[in-house]
Amino acid sequence: MKKDSDRLYYARRAEIERARAETSKDGAAAIAHSTMSAEYERRAREADAETRFDAVPWSAPGQAQSLH
């Protein structure tokens, strides 16, 4: 399970990498920072989805059904 702190970390890193890409004078460095930003954004979305998914109970207590 991902924690909310993971999502916040990835979101902040994405913001930092995006800013570096926007201010880079070297085209190759800008592409690298942009790629890293996209990866951190993906990880932040993934962590957010896992955090929300884990917060939803599968069933209310006492309502579990047997598969047999």
Tokens of 10: 């990835």
In a domain, 67, yes or no: no
In a domain, 64, yes or no: no
In a domain, 19, yes or no: yes
Buried b or exposed e, range 45-62, using 16+ CB within 10 angstroms: eebbeebeeeeeeeeeee
Q: In tens digits, what is the pLDDT along the chain, a chain of 68 residues? A: 457 789 999 999 999 999 999 999 999 999 999 999 999 999 999 988 876 666 555 555 555 555 55
* 38: Cβ contacts below 8 Å, ≥ 6 apart: 14
In a domain, 68, yes or no: no
Q: Are 40 and 10 in contact (CB under 8 A)?
A: yes
Q: How many residues does the chain have?
A: 68
The total number of structural domains in the chain stands at 1
Cut 0.75: pTM above it: no
In a domain, 47, yes or no: yes
Q: Are 2 and 45 in contact (CB under 8 A)?
A: no
How confident is the model at residue 1, as a pLDDT? 45
Domain interval for residue 15? 4-55
In a domain, 62, yes or no: no
